[in-house]
Amino acid sequence: MTELVQTFNFRVRIGRSGFPSRTAEPPPVLPLTSGQEGGARREASAAGRGSAAGSSGPERIGDGGFQECSGLGLEADLREYPEGGANGEVVRRVGRVKLQPLVLKRGMLIATAGAGTDTSLWDWLHGMVSGGTPAPRYDGDVEVLDPLGRRVVAHWKFSRGLPLKITGPTLNAKTGEIAVEELHIAHEGLRLERTP
């Protein structure tokens, strides 16, 4: 029996990449004193492995329901080599893969009652353009869930993302629409993983 994937129920999780560059070693797991709680120990361990989904706290960014996600695609660049004497044929060779930026849209969030909006996505872009080195990179997971939210039916993983563009909401006093912000993420790899 074949089951079609429905795309209305999904989640996106973005966490700090454990690898600042392609050639660097992952950061070491720092020893914790006996007074620190198990949650902090798990966070440090996850950060040392470069796990986006397993970490929590300051290593995570953009938590909250994203309403739309696009850009889950790869495009192969083919090179054409015309051969002399073979006018009816063209030899094609595989070139580089073109990666599309991920585009995420979500409603602007207020972190806690009485506070201002969550600025984590904007802070990520400002941290990069302000000249801080190395630029903070984030890995992420895009998971499509079954209609009941109990099972992951599709799972994409992207690595070493950088903020390409962030757009604030269009403000209009005549409508009562939710403010939506849009984030474009340029990444260095995307793959669809098998789900159990």
The mean pLDDT of 162-187, rounded to a whole number, is 90
Does residue 111 contact residue 188 with C-beta atoms inside 8 Å? no
The mean pLDDT of 176-181, rounded to a whole number, is 87
Residue 19 confidence (pLDDT): 64
Residue 37 confidence (pLDDT): 42
The more confident residue out of 103 and 28 is 103
Does residue 105 contact residue 168 with C-beta atoms inside 8 Å? no
Is 70 exceeded by the pLDDT of residue 41?
no
Which of 13-22, 26-35, 118-127 shows the lowest mean pLDDT across its residues? 26-35
Q: 14: buried, middle or exposed (CB in 10 Å: 19+, 13-18, 0-12)?
A: buried
Residue 23 confidence (pLDDT): 56
Distances in Å between the Cα of 87 and the Cα atoms of 20, 79, 94, 116 are 49, 17, 21, 66
Using a pLDDT cut of 70, give the percent of the chain over it. 79
Nearest to 146 by CA among 11, 46, 1, 41: 11
Does residue 190 contact residue 99 with C-beta atoms inside 8 Å? yes
Residue 24 confidence (pLDDT): 56
